[in-house]
Structure 1
């Protein structure tokens, strides 16, 4: 019969020692890999973070995974994440593949129903984001953008046609390369 509450002192010492060593190794690897490894998360970053947690749990709790095997798994995952982020900075197609593109949901005070449907965002959520930005009316808003990390950005109305912060935002029915001209 498997013990439920206590499996002996040796098992506890193994968990304690592997927890401390795995934690130190993970923190060291994350420091070496740079700030981007745990930056504000998009879907790709979330997957990496969950996978790191899963590997750490396996190292700590599984008797079948040695500290060396777990350390190698952590190092490989962090290395692959570093390679992908390094590539995404240099190759636009990798960036689009990994992080997606921001999407325009409201433009010059007008909700974009097709974009809202595709993004699965309600008009009420747009109004809440506008209120959070301290604006009282949608007419005061140049744009609301669904960022690649899931956050809604509100850009206040600008004079003329210059909205350079919207250069990389995809408008419904347009590709990002055509949308580089201010929307």
Structure 2
């Protein structure tokens, strides 16, 4: 449980840096879009990349070559799906969600219920954006990546201390 063998530790010490370099190379080749969290599919790919890297590091049953192929395959699939969703709207509708207006000068209970967002979460987003009350908020939108965007009634003014 605490220690199996030196060879297992040696494998991790050898495969770890190589797998890390391979992951960085795959991500650099694929571009910044691969790690974006623009929608649920992007999040799934990011989590799957981490899971694949962990499996390569900790499972002696998975070779470095198999792990690198798995990483590259995930990135390739993400690329294909993102390109296809730009080309065909039906795929875009399957992969991406639409933003949902949750608050506009008042809570929109129907959209909030469907999005499973509570009033306290909307209030938290308002506070997190620096708004003291909902009087300073024009709208709150649940974005496609799951974040809450707060649109204010007045533009932010620079502070006197700036």
**So what's the TM-score if we normalise by structure 1?**
0.75
Equivalences for residues 11-160 of structure 1 within 5 A: 11-40=8-37, 42-107=39-104, 109-157=105-153
RMSD (Å), alpha carbons: 2.0
Q: Secondary structure at the match of 2:117?
A: coil
What is the CA distance between 1:94 and its match in structure 2? Answer: 2.4
* Contact 2:100–2:143, Cα closer than 8 Å, also in 1: yes
Unaligned 5+ runs, structure 2: 155-162
Q: Secondary structure at the match of 1:44?
A: helix
What is the CA distance between 1:137 and its match in structure 2? Answer: 4.5
The number of equivalent residue pairs is: 154
**So what's the TM-score if we normalise by structure 2?**
0.83
